[in-house]
Amino acid sequence: MKPDTDIAFPHLPIEQFDRYAHQLDGLLDAHWAPEVFPFNHLSLPRLPEIKNPEYALQARTHRSIPARIDPDGDPELECLNFFETVGDGLLQGQVTRALVASGCNVADDLTVLRSKLVCNSTLSHVAWAYRLHHGYRHTQQMKSPHQKLMGDLFEAYIGAAWMDARERGTEREVDDFLLEFFKPAHWPQWQPMLQEMLRTGPQKRQGKVAQYRLNKAKRQREAAVKEAAKVAGVKAAVETVQGSLGRTNA
């Protein structure tokens, strides 16, 4: 499944194509946040196929559907939630490997870039580019799916595709897709953001170390003051008791 490219806008730069195509689709909610990590809409790799029809259906079914059909059943077993969790883990794992392979070797930088790449604000637009909102099963009559739900749809699709491939002994299909999906070539800001982090990283880390030392010294001073007050309080209490005993003996 390739992103829809049957409508061409040669006068628009690629970074504007995705948003413009959304508007023409007539469904994108105006309140959607822009993608946190822009991607090349026209170069996305083909999605792996889900050959198991039950998995394909479950991966696009909101939990409200089975709950309405069978109020006494367990909607978790018939909705996309499980596949979403599996897909989230697969995406997190592959983007981590891809970032490290790109030279990201600082924990804070890795966390920031990874969160930008796989957050709902980014994956929702990816899901829309793949037109995963077509056929989404939900009880509500929504003009546009909620942005988080669209991000969940992409994760669920990946999870269902992997589970399906796993049962057929062809997990490599999904592994190859994820390997291609997280290539920097599809994400124009990948290298610039990484290089900027590598350039400013040492200075930021020095600042964090200095702040940590200041905070540690402050905590030590506060602890010393509390301990001194505690000792002084104990001494005062002892002196009070001793004075009371002295008066009693007299």
pLDDT tens digits for range 65-104: 544 444 554 555 568 899 999 999 999 999 999 999 999 8
11 burial via Cβ count (<10 Å: 0-12, 13-18, 19+): exposed
CA angle, residues 54, 55, 59, in degrees to nearest 5? 120
Highest mean pLDDT among 18-27, 77-86, 122-131: 122-131
Q: Which residue has the higher pLDDT, 176 or 146?
A: 176
Q: Which amino acid is at 59?
A: A
3-state SS of the chain is CCCCCCCCCCCCCHHHHHHHHHHHHCCCCCCCCCCCCCCCHHHCCCCCCCCCHHHHHHCCECCHHHHHHCCCCCHHHCCCHHHHHHHHHHHHHHHHHHHHHCCCCCHHHHHHHHHHHHCHHHHHHHHHHCCCCCCCECCCCCCCCCHHHHHHHHHHHHHHHHHHHHHCCCCHHHHHHHHHHCCHHHCCCHHHHHHHHHHHHHHHHHHHHHHHHHHHHHHHHHHHHHHHHHHHHHHHHHHHHHHHHHHHHC
pLDDT interval class at 214 (50, 70, 90): confident
Q: Compute the distance between CA of residue 90 and CA of residue 244 in angstroms, rounded to an integer.
A: 72
Q: Percent of the chain scored above 70 by pLDDT?
A: 68
Q: Dihedral through CA 40, CA 119, CA 104, CA 18, nearest 10?
A: 10
Q: Could you tell me the fold of the domain covering 14-188?
A: Ribonuclease iii, N-terminal Endonuclease Domain; Chain A (1.10.1520)
If we measure between CA atoms, which residue out of 188, 201, 190 comes closest to residue 102? Answer: 190
In sequence order, which residues have a C-beta less than 8 Å from that of residue 67 and are 6 or more positions away? 73, 75
User: For position 2, what pLDDT does the model report?
Assistant: 40
Q: Which residue has the higher pLDDT, 140 or 60?
A: 60
If we measure between CA atoms, which residue out of 14, 171, 198, 177 comes closest to residue 99? Answer: 198
Residue 12: pLDDT above 50? no
Q: What is the pTM of this model?
A: 0.67
Residue 232: pLDDT above 70? yes
What is the residue extent of each domain of the chain? 14-188, 206-250
